[in-house]
Amino acid sequence: MKSKLIAVIIILALTSIIFTDALGERVLYWGSRGNDVVELQRKLKNWGYYDGSLDGIYGPDTYNAVRFFQRRNGLSVDGVVGPEVFKSLGVNVVNNSQNIANAGTQVTSNDISLLAKAIYGEARGEPYVGQVAVAAVILNRVNSSAFPNTVSGVIFEPLAFTAVSDGQFYLTPNSQAYKAARDAINGWDPTGGCLYYFNPVTATSSWIWTRPHVITIGKHRFLK
Amino acid sequence: MKYRTLIIWLMINVIVLGIGSYFYTQNQQAMEDLKIRTEGMYQQSFHSLISHIKTIENYLAKSLVATDLINQQEIMSTITRQVYSSQEELGKLPLILVPLINTETTLQKIADFAWQVNTKNLKQESSLTSPEWTTLVDLKQCTSKLLLNLQNIQSNIIENNLRWVDIELMYSRNEVADNTVIDGLHLVDKDVKAYSETQAGILPHVREPKVYYNSDQLIDERTARNEAAGYLGKLNLEVGEPVQVIQSEGDIPAYVVFFDNGVNQYTCAVTKAAGSLAWFMGDSILTGRQLTNEEAINLANEYLNRLNFQNVTLVGHNTNDNAIMLMYAGFQDDTVVYPEMLRLNVNLNTGIITGADFSEYLKYHHQRTVTEASLAESDIVDQLPKNSVINNIQKAIIFNQQGQEVLTFEVAVSIAGENYLIYLNADTGIEENIIRIESKT
C-alpha cells in the first residue's frame, strides 16, 4: 500500500536500491560473481594463495585458493567466504547499518530503466537538473494519493506523459538519463515535491495553469 | 499508336489507384482495429471502477450497523482492497482533461479510515468515537453520491455508445472539452469535493513532520551567486561562471544558480534565507572505478568538514558503476539523528563530488536534547524474534508515522539469511519501524 511506502520514506527518506558490491557485504561461494570477487582474488593473489586471473568469477581456482587460505588460517575448510574469512583477510566487515541506503523501498533496477526512458523521451534536450526534475515528479506522483502507486503505473497512465503517447519513450536512453534517474531515486528533488510540469508553449490543458508554480527549468514549468 | 499509349496509361493509373486505395483502406482498418481494442481496455477499466465503488459503498453502508469486531475487520479489509483496485482502474483511464483529484483523495481517505478502524479493532476498542461515526456516515453518503454520478455516466456511455478514445482524440487535437462524459466527470469531482470538508474524523496515519526552516535574513540574487560559487569552490570544483539564476518557491525557497565550465553543468541551490547550501548537482558521467569505497568515504568526510558539518555520521551508502552515494545523519550524545539526513555523491573515477543534498537537514535541523532511554538494551534484546543474530545496537531518533521524533534502539539483526534494522521505542518498547536490507543476489 501507498501508506506503507510513504511511512518508510518519511522515516529515512531512502529511495535507492542499486546494490553495493564491496568485499565484505555478502557471503561469497562457488558461482558468485562481481567486483567483490575480484577484490577477493586480488587479496588471495597478493598473498600467494591464488594464481588465476582476476575475472570476478568464483570458480574452481578461487575455491581451491579459499580452501587453502582457510586451512592455513585454522578456519573451517568449506570454501565459503563468510565473516570469519573476511576477518582473517583483514576486510572490515561493513556494519549492517552502513547498508541502509539499499533498504526500504520497492523501486527496482528495472524501475530505474523505466525512469531513464521517461527522462530521455520527455526531457533529453533539457538541462541536467531539468531531467532529474522530471524523474522527481514521477516519483512524487508514486507517493501521492492522487496518482497510481507504482513507477510504471504513473508513467503509463493514459495521456499523462507525451513521450509515452508519441512513442519517444521507446528510444534508447543515454547514460545521462540513467544518472538523472539514479539521482532522483537517491533522493535529489530540484522541484521540492512538485506533482506536475508542462511546457507552456505546447500545453493544451488550461487547468494546469491553476496550480501553484514552484520553479521553471529550461522549457518546463514545475507545479505543486 | 497514340490511342494505345493512352489506354496503357489509363490502365496503369487504374492499377496504381487501385493498389493505393487498397492499402489505404487496409491501413484505415488497422487503425480502426487498434482504436476498438484500446476502447475495449478503457471500457473495461471504467466499468470495473464502478463495480469497485459499488462494493465500497455497499460495505460502508454495512459497517454502519456492524458491531462484531471480526465482522467489522472483514468489512474494513474488503474496503481497503476495493479502494486499491479502484485506484488501479482510475490510473488506466485517460483523465487528463478532467483530473479527478478530489475523487482520488477521497478514495485514499476511505482507505485511511478503514485502516484506522482496523487498528482500533486490534486494540479491542470497539466503539467509534463520535467524530469517527460522523465521518463514517459522511464517507458513506459521499460514496453513494459518487456512485450515482458514475452510474449516470455509465448509462450514458452504454446507451449512446460514447467512446473514451474520442476523448483522447479531442485532447490530442487540442479541442475544447465539450463532451457529456467530460461534463459528467467534472460533476463527479465537484460533488465529491462538497463532502471533503466535513471528513474531520480521519487521522491521516502518515503525517508530515514539522519543518524547522525559517525564512529570516533574506539574501539577494547577487549574494546567492557568490555563495553558490563559494560552496562549489570549497568542494574543489572548477565550475566556471554562473550562466543563469532562477528562483524556486518550494518548501525551502531558494536561488538556483547554473554554472557551465564548457564540459559539465553544475547547478547549485542556496536558500533565500541565510544563503545555506540546499542542494547541488553535476552531470559528470565519467565511468570506471579508480577509487575504493573507503577512499571515497574519506574524501566525502573531508569535504563535509570544509562545509562545517561536523556532528554527522555515515549511515548508508549505495554504489553504481561510476558513483557512490553516501548518506549521513546527525549524531548527538551517541544517538543517530535520522531526521537530519544529508547525502553526497562521489564520482569513483575522478573523486569529485557530483552531488549534495542538504534539503532535509535544513528542514528538520534544530536544537534538541536527547532524553535518557527508560528501557535498557537488555530489555530490548528480549523482545527480538527468536533465532535472530544481533549485529549491532545503537540509539537512534527517527520519525514515527505521526511525523514526531521518537527515541529508539536501532537493532541490526540477521535471521534466516536476511538482514534487518529493527527500531524499538526506547521508552515503550513498541516496534516503530522495520527496514529490510536487501543484499545483492
**Number of structural domains in chain A:** 2
Range with the poorest average pLDDT among A55-59, B118-122, B367-371, B424-428: B118-122
Q: Which pLDDT value is given to residue A23?
A: 72
User: Using a CB-CB distance cutoff of 8 angstroms, which residues of chain A are in contact with residue B289?
Assistant: 35
Residue A201: CB atoms within 10 A of its CB come to 6
Q: Taking 80 as the threshold, does the pLDDT of residue A102 lie above it?
A: no
Which of the following CATH numbers is that of domain B377-437: 2.60.40, 1.10.3470, 3.30.420, 3.10.450?
3.10.450
Q: Taking 60 as the threshold, does the pLDDT of residue B64 lie above it?
A: yes
**Chain B interface disruption, residue of A58, A87, A97, most B CBs within 10 A:** A97
Q: Distance, in angstroms, between A172 CA and closest chain B CA?
A: 17
Q: Taking 90 as the threshold, does the pLDDT of residue B408 lie above it?
A: yes
What value does the mean pLDDT of chain B take? Answer: 86
Mean pLDDT computed over B310-327: 85
Whether A170 and A207 share a structural domain: yes
Instruction: Tell me phi and psi for residue B300, to 5 degrees.
Output: -60, -40
User: B103 versus B173: which is more confidently predicted?
Assistant: B103
Residue in chain B closest to A26 (alpha carbons) equals: B439
Per the CB < 8 A criterion, the answer to whether A194 and A137 are in contact is: yes
* Residue B248 to residue B242: CA distance in whole angstroms: 17
Please tell me which of the candidates B251, B293, B338 has its beta carbon nearest to residue A192. Answer: B251
User: B435 and A103 in contact by Cβ < 8 A?
Assistant: yes
A94's grid cell: 561493513
Residue A163 within a domain = yes
Q: Distance, in angstroms, between B237 CA and closest chain A CA?
A: 17
- Which range of residues forms the domain containing residue A80? 35-93
Whether A60 and A133 share a structural domain: no
Helical axes A128-142 vs A109-123, angle rounded to 10°: 130
User: B412 and A96 in contact by Cβ < 8 A?
Assistant: yes
Whether A50 and A86 share a structural domain: yes
Q: Distance, in angstroms, between B320 CA and closest chain A CA?
A: 6
User: Using a CB-CB distance cutoff of 8 angstroms, which residues of chain B are in contact with residue A158?
Assistant: 42, 92-96, 168
User: Using a CB-CB distance cutoff of 8 angstroms, which residues of chain B are in contact with residue A221?
Assistant: none
Percent of chain A at pLDDT exceeding 90: 26
Q: Taking 80 as the threshold, does the pLDDT of residue A212 lie above it?
A: yes
Nearest in space to B326 (alpha carbons), one of B275, B302, A2: B302
User: B293 and A3 in contact by Cβ < 8 A?
Assistant: no
Q: Which pLDDT value is given to residue B242?
A: 87
Q: Taking 80 as the threshold, does the pLDDT of residue B68 lie above it?
A: yes
Whether A44 and A115 share a structural domain: no
B332's grid cell: 548527538
How is B240-279 classified by DSSP, letter by letter?
-SEEEEEEE-SSS-EEEEEEE-SS-EEEEEEETBTT-EEE
Q: Taking 80 as the threshold, does the pLDDT of residue A142 lie above it?
A: yes
Residue A148 within a domain = yes
Whether A138 and A191 share a structural domain: yes
* Residue B328 to residue B342: CA distance in whole angstroms: 5
Most confident region among B87-91, B380-384, B388-392 by mean pLDDT: B87-91
Q: Which pLDDT value is given to residue A14?
A: 36
Q: Which pLDDT value is given to residue A105?
A: 53
Cα end-to-end distance, chain B, whole Å? 81
Residue in chain B closest to A103 (alpha carbons) equals: B437
Residue A183 within a domain = yes
What 3-state class would DSSP assign to B365?
A: coil
Q: Taking 70 as the threshold, does the pLDDT of residue B121 lie above it?
A: yes
Q: Which pLDDT value is given to residue A208?
A: 75
Q: Taking 80 as the threshold, does the pLDDT of residue B85 lie above it?
A: yes
Q: Taking 90 as the threshold, does the pLDDT of residue B52 lie above it?
A: yes
Predicted TM-score (pTM) of this structure? 0.79
Residue A22 within a domain = no
Q: Which pLDDT value is given to residue A20?
A: 41
Nearest in space to A174 (alpha carbons), one of B37, B44, B285, B422: B285
**Burial label, A216 (beta-carbon count in 10 A; 0-12, 13-18, 19+):** middle
**Chain A interface disruption, residue of B283, B322, B384, most A CBs within 10 A:** B283
Q: Taking 90 as the threshold, does the pLDDT of residue A28 lie above it?
A: no
Residue B416: CB atoms within 10 A of its CB come to 7
Q: Which pLDDT value is given to residue A97?
A: 39
Residue in chain A closest to B270 (alpha carbons) equals: A190
* Residue B225 to residue B241: CA distance in whole angstroms: 9
Please tell me which of the candidates A25, A102, A128 has its beta carbon nearest to residue B281. Answer: A128
Q: Distance, in angstroms, between B152 CA and closest chain A CA?
A: 23
**B288 interface with A at CB cutoff 8 Å:** no
Per the CB < 8 A criterion, the answer to whether A147 and A195 are in contact is: yes
Helix, strand, coil proportions of chain B in percent (round to 5)?
45, 25, 30
* Residue B117 to residue B125: CA distance in whole angstroms: 9
Residue A60 within a domain = yes
Q: Which pLDDT value is given to residue A76?
A: 82
Range with the poorest average pLDDT among A74-78, A216-220, B15-19: A74-78
B234's grid cell: 570549497
Cα end-to-end distance, chain A, whole Å? 23
* Residue B198 to residue B212: CA distance in whole angstroms: 30
B157-216 pLDDT, tens digit per residue, is 888 888 888 888 877 776 665 677 888 888 888 888 877 666 666 766 667 788 888 777
Residue A19 confidence class, pLDDT cut points 50, 70, 90: very low
User: ipTM of this model?
Assistant: 0.86
* Residue A45 to residue B88: CA distance in whole angstroms: 55
User: Using a CB-CB distance cutoff of 8 angstroms, which residues of chain A are in contact with residue B269?
Assistant: 190
Whether A158 and A68 share a structural domain: no
Mean pLDDT computed over B118-136: 79
Nearest in space to A3 (alpha carbons), one of B410, B398, B202, B367: B202
Whether A135 and A176 share a structural domain: yes
Cβ under 8 Å to A: B residues 402-421 = 403, 410, 412, 414, 419, 421
User: B289 and A214 in contact by Cβ < 8 A?
Assistant: no
B267-297 pLDDT, tens digit per residue, is 999 999 888 999 999 888 777 778 888 888 8
B258-269 pLDDT, tens digit per residue, is 998 888 889 999
User: A215 and B338 in contact by Cβ < 8 A?
Assistant: no
Residue A193 within a domain = yes
B359-374 pLDDT, tens digit per residue, is 999 999 998 888 888 8
Per the CB < 8 A criterion, the answer to whether B188 and B149 are in contact is: yes
Q: Taking 50 as the threshold, does the pLDDT of residue A90 lie above it?
A: yes
Residue B1 confidence class, pLDDT cut points 50, 70, 90: low
User: Using a CB-CB distance cutoff of 8 angstroms, which residues of chain B are in contact with residue A132?
Assistant: 281
Mean pLDDT computed over A198-204: 78
What value does the mean pLDDT of chain A take? Answer: 79
Residue A12 confidence class, pLDDT cut points 50, 70, 90: very low
Q: Which pLDDT value is given to residue A17?
A: 32
Q: Could you say which of A93, A117, A136 is where a domain stops?
A: A93
Q: Could you tell me how many CB contacts below 8 A there are between chain A and chain B? A: 224
Whether A116 and A205 share a structural domain: yes
Please tell me which of the candidates A129, A194, A212 has its beta carbon nearest to residue B267. Answer: A129
A88: domain CATH number is 1.10.101.10
Q: Which pLDDT value is given to residue B60?
A: 93
Residue A62 within a domain = yes
* Residue B267 to residue B239: CA distance in whole angstroms: 9
* Residue A13 to residue B209: CA distance in whole angstroms: 12
Whether A62 and A151 share a structural domain: no
B165-178 pLDDT, tens digit per residue, is 888 887 777 666 56
Whether A66 and A115 share a structural domain: no
Q: Taking 80 as the threshold, does the pLDDT of residue A106 lie above it?
A: no
Q: Distance, in angstroms, between B61 CA and closest chain A CA?
A: 24
Mean pLDDT computed over A160-165: 88
